[in-house]
C-alpha cells in the first residue's frame, strides 16, 4: 500500500516540472529520505542537475550539490519513466491566454504524459495554481481515459504551491502545506506524503477548497497592492508622500497590514491567479468586481511610471524619444533572479516603443532568460560605475536589490525616478528625484 511505502520512505516521488516550485519541492523530499525522480522537458536543466549545478541562483548551489550527493535524486526528460513513481507531483506553469483566460495546456500535457504509464496504486497531486474544479473536472478525465478510475485505481489530490523566491524566514519545508483530495483516500494519502517532508501539512475537505484557498491568498495580496498603488497616484497629486503615510499607518499594532506600492505586479502568482477565479466566476454567472478593478489598477502602474519619467525628462528639456533610460532591476522582486511577469520588462518595452534607448542593470540577471511573451535577447545587463550611471538621462528604479550601490547611484545619476522608495534618504529634496 502507498501509505506503508510513505511511512517506510520506500515510496518513489516523481516531480514533474523542475522550476521555481518543482526543484525546491524535490529537494524537500530528498532531504526527507525519499527517492525522487525529477522530470522536465528542458535538457539543459537535466544536464546541470546531473552535475549538481544550480540554475535557480536564489536557491543556492548547496541544494543541488546535496541532492546529487544523496544518491536519491535523478533528473530525466524520459517521461516513459513516470510509471516508476508511486506519487507524481505536477509543478507546471498555469499562465493566462491572450484574453486573460486560463491556459491549462501545461496541465493537460502533463496529464496526458502521466496517463500513458498510470498504474494502479499510484497517486497524482496537482500543485499548479488554478481555478476550483480543475483537479476533479479537468485533470481527472485525462488520467481516466484508459479505464483507470480516480479513488478506485489511483489517487488524486491538490496541494497548492506557496513558494516565495528569495524569502529567508520560510522555505518549502517550513511553509505550511494545504492538501485536499478528490476523495477520502486521496486526501489521506496526500496528507501523509507531505507530512513526511514538510513541517506542517494541513488537510482540508476537498481539492476544491485547497484550490480556492490558494486563489484567496493571492487575490488578497493583489487587491491590497492595488489599493496602495491607487493611493500613491492620488496622494502624489495632493503632494503627500504615500510612503510616509504607509509608515504612519503601520504604527497601529492591530487592524492594519502593510502593503507597498510599486511599478506593477510581478511573479507567477499575483498578476495571473486572480483572473483564474474571474474566469470561472463568469461561467457560474457572477462578476468579480474587486478582482477586476484591482487588475486594472495594477496593470496601469507601468504606464504611470512612464508618465512620471516623461515629466522628469521634461525638466531637462528632453523628450522620451531619443532619451537614454537606465532601468535598475529586471527581476520582479529584490535579491532574486526571477523575472516572471516582472513589470521591469514592460517598462523596457514601453520606453522602447516611445523611441527611448533603454538599458538595464541587474546583478542577479546578467542575461534575460527566454520568455514566452517577451523578447529581450538584444539586452544584456550593464555593470554599474559612476561614468555609466552619469551617461543616462534618467535612471528608473524598478527593483530595489541590496546589491546596488545606492550611494553611487544617488551621487552620479542626472535624474532618478524611484518606484520603490529605495533612494528616499539619499535624494530627498533634490530637484532631479521623482517618486513614482
Question: What DSSP string runs through 263-331?
Answer: SS--SSSTTTHHHHHHHHHHHTT---HHHHHHHHHHHHHHHHHHHHHHHHHHTTT--STT-EEEEE--S
Among residues 259, 330, 261, which one has the least CA distance to residue 298? Answer: 261
Cα 348 to Cα 325: distance, rounded to the nearest angstrom:
9
Segment 18-47 shows an average pLDDT of 96
**Tell me: the pLDDT tens digits for 85-116?**
999 999 999 998 888 889 999 999 999 999 99
**220-435: which CATH topology?**
Rossmann fold (3.40.50)
The pLDDT, as a whole number, for residue 38 is 98
The pLDDT, as a whole number, for residue 348 is 97
Domains 2-209 and 220-435 fall in the same CATH topology:
yes
**DSSP codes of every residue in 170-193:** --TTTS-EEEEESSHHHHHHHHHH
User: Where are the domains positioned within the chain?
Assistant: 2-209, 220-435
Catalytic residues: 269
Cα 15 to Cα 75: distance, rounded to the nearest angstrom:
9
pTM attached to this predicted model: 0.91
* pLDDT bucket at 269, cuts 50 / 70 / 90: confident
Determine the 3-state secondary structure of 382 from DSSP: coil
**Tell me: the pLDDT tens digits for 133-157?**
999 999 999 999 999 999 999 999 9
**Tell me: the pLDDT tens digits for 385-405?**
999 999 999 999 999 999 999
pLDDT > 80? residue 296: yes
Q: Homologous superfamily of 2-209 in CATH?
A: NAD(P)-binding Rossmann-like Domain (3.40.50.720)
Mean residue pLDDT across the chain = 94
pLDDT > 90? residue 4: yes
The pLDDT, as a whole number, for residue 271 is 78
Segment 52-60 shows an average pLDDT of 89
* pLDDT bucket at 164, cuts 50 / 70 / 90: confident
Among residues 135, 148, 76, 81, which one has the least CA distance to residue 108? Answer: 135
pLDDT > 80? residue 373: no
Tell me the pairing of strands 324-328 and 357-361: parallel
> Are the CB atoms for 267 and 332 separated by under 8 Å?
yes
Amino acid at each position: 500500500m502507498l501509505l506503508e511505502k510513505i511511512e517506510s520512505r520506500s515510496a518513489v516521488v516523481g516531480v514533474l516540472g523542475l522550476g521555481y516550485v518543482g526543484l525546491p519541492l524535490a529537494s524537500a523530499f530528498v532531504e526527507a529520505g525519499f527517492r525522487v525522480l525529477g522530470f522536465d522537458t528542458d535538457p539543459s536543466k537535466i544536464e546541470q542537475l546531473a552535475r549538481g549545478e544550480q540554475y535557480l541562483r536564489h536557491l543556492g548551489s548547496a541544494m543541488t550539490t546535496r541532492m546529487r550527493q544523496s544518491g536519491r535524486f535523478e533528473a530525466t526528460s524520459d517521461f516513459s519513466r513516470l510509471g516508476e513513481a508511486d506519487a507524481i507531483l505536477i509543478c507546471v506553469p498555469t499562465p493566462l491566454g491572450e484574453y486573460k483566460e486560463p491556459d491549462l495546456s501545461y496541465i493537460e500535457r502533463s496529464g496526458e504524459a502521466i496517463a500513458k504509464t498510470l498504474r494502479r496504486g499510484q497517486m497524482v497531486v496537482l500543485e499548479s495554481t488554478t481555478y476550483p474544479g480543475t483537479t476533479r473536472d479537468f485533470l481527472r478525465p485525462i488520467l481516466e481515459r484508459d479505464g483507470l478510475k480516480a479513488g478506485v485505481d489511483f489517487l488524486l489530490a491538490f496541494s497548492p504551491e506557496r513558494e516565495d523566491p528569495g524569502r529567508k524566514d520560510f522555505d518549502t519545508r517550513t511553509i505550511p502545506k494545504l492538501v485536499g483530495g478528490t476523495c477520502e483516500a486521496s486526501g489521506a494519502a496526500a496528507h501523509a506524503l507531505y507530512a513526511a517532508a514538510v513541517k506542517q501539512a494541513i488537510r482540508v475537505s476537498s481539492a476544491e477548497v485547497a484550490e480556492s484557498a490558494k486563489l484567496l491568498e493571492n487575490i488578497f495580496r493583489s487587491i491590497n497592492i492595488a489599493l496602495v498603488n491607487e493611493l500613491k497616484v492620488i496622494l502624489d497629486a495632493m503632494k503627500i508622500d504615500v510612503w510616509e503615510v504607509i509608515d504612519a499607518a503601520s504604527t497601529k499594532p492591530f487592524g492594519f497590514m502593510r502593503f507597498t506600492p510599486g511599478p506593477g505586479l510581478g511573479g507567477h502568482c499575483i498578476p495571473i491567479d486572480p483572473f483564474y477565479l474571474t474566469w470561472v466566476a463568469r461561467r457560474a454567472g457572477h462578476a468579480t468586481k474587486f478582482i477586476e478593478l484591482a487588475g486594472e489598477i495594477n496593470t496601469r502602474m507601468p504606464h504611470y511610471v512612464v508618465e512620471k519619467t516623461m515629466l522628469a525628462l521634461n525638466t531637462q528639456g528632453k523628450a522620451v524619444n531619443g532619451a537614454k533610460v537606465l532601468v535598475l532591476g529586471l527581476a520582479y522582486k529584490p535579491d532574486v533572479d526571477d523575472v516572471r511577469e516582472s513589470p521591469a520588462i514592460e517598462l523596457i518595452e514601453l520606453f522602447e516603443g516611445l523611441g527611448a534607448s533603454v538599458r538595464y542593470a541587474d546583478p542577479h540577471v546578467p542575461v534575460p532568460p527566454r520568455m514566452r511573451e517577451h523578447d529581450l535577447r538584444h539586452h544584456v545587463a550593464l555593470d554599474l560605475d559612476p561614468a555609466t550611471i552619469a551617461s543616462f538621462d534618467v535612471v528608473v528604479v524598478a527593483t530595489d536589490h541590496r546589491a546596488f550601490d545606492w550611494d553611487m547611484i544617488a551621487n552620479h545619476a542626472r535624474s532618478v525616478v524611484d518606484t520603490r522608495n529605495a533612494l528616499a534618504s539619499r535624494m530627498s529634496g533634490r530637484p532631479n528625484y521623482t517618486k513614482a
